Chains A and B, each alone.
Chain A
Amino acid sequence: MEAKTDLPPVPRSATLAEKPIDIPWKTNLRRLFRQRSAVIGMIILGFVVTVAILAPVLTVYDPTDSLIGQPGHENIQRRAKPCIHLLGCPEDQPQHLMGLDGNSRDVFSRILYGARVSLRVGLIVVGISVTIGTFLGSVAGYVGGWTDNIIMRLMDLILAFPSLLLAIAITFVLGSGLFNAMLAISIVSIPGYARVVRSTVLAARNLDYVEAAHSLGASHWRILFRQILPNAITPLIVQATLGIGVAIIDAAALSFLGLGAQEPTPEWGTMLGRERNQIFSAPHLVLFPGFAIAITVLAFNLLGDGLRDVLDPRLSRSEQSK
């Protein structure tokens, strides 16, 4: 104790100044990078995105063209097994890392380009449903009364159907195709986002700072967008990340059933659906697209879970208490 008194007294203000200012998103990002599952998710996702971007560099074959009759492919067989020179496939045969499909197309190319399709599907579906869901949820929460009632009962109605089934029915009515499938999946996922936004808006609507903005003469739209909706960003980010995974899986399911992407689009679900009866004779046609879907969805799920653990204040409080 006495030794310490010899030291020059530390000015209070200096200790305060040295303490780094707590910037929420920076702290959150740091915490996110400390989450094992989130990091694994980000690594896988980085890999999938890279593959999608570099697809034309990584493969020489066109994902939609049959290789029959092309130079070097005179003796190819439909649904040929993977041929990798390093693993003992004869050098005189053309190399196909994942074999050929029923139309003699290079499966590897289709898997790579399929990453583009699936990522786009995930982002577009979530984009549409977050936009519409946010709009409906914020109007319902902010306006209240009958508007709220009508919007939310409509949301309940969508939720009254098993979601994949409703998506199937909507795609049936709109007609098969990847775009319609995406639209259908967007529609069935709107209520989730609308509910999240509505509950945030309801919670924030009567807070003092909102009242203050109101009495300063801010317009309703300004209050909604500048004062209230930023509160909804955190839960929306978590839900949207997990939603991308769900959208990819559901779109693949619709395509698997023949309602989504049509030939020759290199879509993983379509690839699986078209060749599913080959599981006995040419399993590579099922295994590669299947794992591609599973890995991509896993990445979004891991990242989404990580984000939730970091961003959900309820959870982080219970972490702190331990």
Chain B
Amino acid sequence: MTTDMHSHWYPIASSSDLPKRHVYQAKLLGREFAVWRADDGYVNVWENRCLHRGVRLSIGINDGKELKCQYHGWRYANRTAGCTYIPAHPADAPARTICNHRYPTQEVHGLVWAGETASGELPDMEGFDEVTVLRPVPVNAPRELVAQELRHYVFAEGCTSREEADGSVIVTAAGGPSVRLFVQPCDSNHSVIRGLLDQASEGAERVAILKHHNWLLEELRSRIEAAAASMETPEPMVVTIAKVSEDLVDIPPASEDGRQAELRVQVTEKAMTAEGIVSLRLEALKGPLPTFQPGAHIDVHLQNGLVRQYSLTNGPGETDHYTIGVKREPDSRGGSVAIHDGVAKGDVLAISAPRNNFPLRRDATHTVFVAGGIGVTPLLSMARTLNSQGLGFEFHYFVQSGAHVAFNQAFGEMGDAVTIHEGLSPGETGDTLRDVLKSPGRARHVYICGPGPMLEATRQIAADAGWADEAIHFEYFKNTTERDDSSSFEIDLARSAMTLTVPSGKTILDVLREAGINMSSSCEQGACGTCRCGVIEGEILHQDVYLSPKEKAEGKSIMTCVSRAASDRLILDI
């Protein structure tokens, strides 16, 4: 139930309750909050339960970037509260709709303010620019009773008091300082008095002030509780816990709609990060950006009508912006040039929400990253994640020369785990890779991203060295294989009970869309994996570079943007 009371701002914690890496448990109007400060200073006020099994997040672990639940290790991102990782299923990217409830919050005057549906301005705090935050005093009494009694607070000679518009009370000593007292209504019969003194203090003077007020407030507390004891105790407040998104009830995540540019972002930084590579920092025009996971990419819709995919390079917890790196391609069809030459700081771009078809497993004891050139971008985000969690990895970055090393600063954080291989010939690269990939094993994984020929070679070297198909993860920037769209065949849609014909010259995706079926897609060239669809029956002519050889042989899924039927008919699981 939301009432007028829920739309107010209340102080729920002192800033000093949120030391580094702590999670503080607060309560307001019967609802528990988990309150934590990320290393970037942002204060998160969330529903105090994990969406999975309802365990209090206040007993979770704040790693400075994410909050990790104690029960199953689910991770929720700073700022967005979106789930970034579900350890029980390391190969899956969590559905985007798994997002905890956030509550409006502000940190001002040494207090953290929140409200279930708070909006508008905080109370006017004129005269309280410099403050000492008093020790909060809990009172077993209803808010109204506490608020009434605050007026009788006397801390020095000649105190006068007045009630402010927000219900707080300012008590001023004759010719001296003022104290402003607020009530935090935790529950129907439980409140906390939070006070501010209108002067800064430190050292012994501060201790003396805190002791003085603490003693007097404790006295006030005893008086209020004595009065409350003679009254009937109200029933505890009942809070409703919002239901989770409907698509999460059936276990497979629901597919998202089409190729959409649902977000508007502003380019707030544009800089050359290496020769021929520009990095863009993108910030939301309004509201928070959706949660991303390492390996995720976004579609950027350019002014010239082109749509291009770029991986996010962000580390965990960097949730107030997205960073992408774009290489100027000499044989560009207009995408990279449009970004290099046509996009300037301050411009607004249309982008899709992040999709993750290249998820990072975090159940490896050791992970090997092999990046070639601009292929570094998704792997950088992954490595930063493992580095932050203290999981073992090594990062091999193959570049033409030192001038081509992008995102130098981020690599600096990873120390010895990173090896830059400069200016190697294809033969030398092969030798190096054979050495790097010589030890496959249990719980060891390799992630590869780079130009097509290098990627092919690396996959082959890994397979030859004995790495299992499931341990080799890769992402192509583009699909350069020759594609044949001359065949014509039928598709049966098992769940929607439809039969459609795919003529030559059209893709399955085209035909599905024409029939009004919403299918998500991104690169539309068989590289990114977004338009993947289950196949129940029929032989597939795979023309993508997303599926692994094993997945292709199993024939259980198809990339609808490029692949076709090798038989007359396919039965698709949609």
Answer yes or no: do A and B interact: no
